[in-house]
Amino acid sequence: MSRFDLRVLETAQKVPGKPRHKTREVKVGELVIGGTNPIWVQSMTTTDTFDVEGTIKQILALEEAGCELVRVTVPKPEDAGALSAIRDKISIPLICDIHFDYKMALAALDHPIDKIRINPGNIGGYDRFRQVVRKAKDKGIPMRIGVNAGSLERELVEKYEFPCPPAIVESALRSIEVAESEGYHDIIVSLKSSDVLVAVEAYRLFAQLCDYPTHIGITEAGKAPYAVTKSSAGLSPILLDGIGDTIRISLLGDPIPEILAAFDILQATQRRVRRPEIIACPTCGRLAIDLEKIIAELEQRLQGRRLPVKISVLGCVVNGPGEAREADIGIAAGNGKGMIFRNGEIVRRVDEKDIVDALMEEVADWEKTNAHRLPKTKDAEGIGRRKLPVISA
């Protein structure tokens, strides 16, 4: 008889993971945000928007990196004037970012943008916000209500004493009610803070109260690598709770690394799997093969493959066999030899020099065997060994 209450374990979920928070769908350009659609990755340019050539160049580089929506700032009339030329030369939805001057929002809406982002806390009051909502509705352009802990309405800060999660969420809900009173529902919401705990709880609170899709991010995260770690710490709990419909990793400097960081976080939380996952043991004194060389070659040969397969490559006999059994394909190796596992069963033994070739053969066989269970389109949901999350090219 155990002194622990094992009934908790007997009724626990064996395959972990919370379902996606159910949100309504909002069309942004050719993409649909929310619902069961992929969690789209976005970024923001660092150029002066009126520098049309420079802005287009940076957006095209972001597209090449995998960015799926892009935001540009519009603080001046000349920035608004550049929007049409920019939109004409890019392939992904263009989002216009507005702070302080509602007139810039009205000006931007005269151009073929795909979404507008408004911060209600610094736009100058609900009357001005209402004007922007009316024009966005007339133009058929969706809006992100971007609440930021650093620019909350004064009365909410006074009500809650400081920019806490309830204050952030109430700000968003007030703005939503203003928009809805105008018959406008093409809304996406963000509730950002540079404080990880505040951001996580704000998104959780909002999800309890509202079904509008959310854009998630930790604002002003700073400089990499700490900023990536901070963003991972803040966004992973949100994603694991099933919350989030678009994502941005805010990094100081070049925006290109934001894209890889976002996809890595989505992959690690299994909210959007886009490539094979390679599990490798850490380097230690028990390592009995040239694991770094094997992993480098395996990564190179898997480059560009869009398979949601889990591959475990372990370099010793301590944890290797057990870990390899938990992957779709695995190898436990040492002293120049390796045991290949498939779905937990040993299928063959190979020499160290043949490990990568053998693993690639197993990947090809896995793809053939699971072809009927893999997504037929890039944005579909598929199932793998247990249940695979969304895989998207």
Per-residue pLDDT tens digits for 20-62:
999 999 999 999 999 999 999 999 999 999 999 999 999 999 9
Say what the pTM is.
0.88
Q: Delimit the CATH 3.30.413.10 region(s) of the chain.
A: 277-373
Listed range (45-49, 183-187, 244-248, 270-274) with the worst mean pLDDT: 270-274
CA distance 282 to 202: 36
Q: How confident is the model at residue 307 (pLDDT cuts 50, 70, 90)?
A: confident
Identify the CATH class of 26-268: alpha beta
Phi, psi of 42 (to 5 degrees): -130, 165
Specify whether the backbone of 215 is left (phi greater than 0), alpha (psi in -120 to 50) or beta: beta
Q: How confident is the model at residue 352 (pLDDT cuts 50, 70, 90)?
A: confident
- DSSP codes of every residue in 368-391: HHTGGGS-SSTT-B---SS---BB
Beta partners for residue 313, in sequence order: 280, 331
pLDDT at 139: 95
The CATH T-level fold of domain 277-373 is: Sulfite Reductase Hemoprotein; domain 1 (3.30.413)
pLDDT at 305: 85
Interval 102-113: pLDDT, tens: 999 999 999 999
pLDDT at 150 over 80: yes
pLDDT at 1: 74
Q: Delimit the CATH 3.20.20.20 region(s) of the chain.
A: 26-268
Q: How confident is the model at residue 245 (pLDDT cuts 50, 70, 90)?
A: very high
- Residues 6 or more apart from 227 whose CB is under 8 A from it? 221, 249, 250, 251, 252
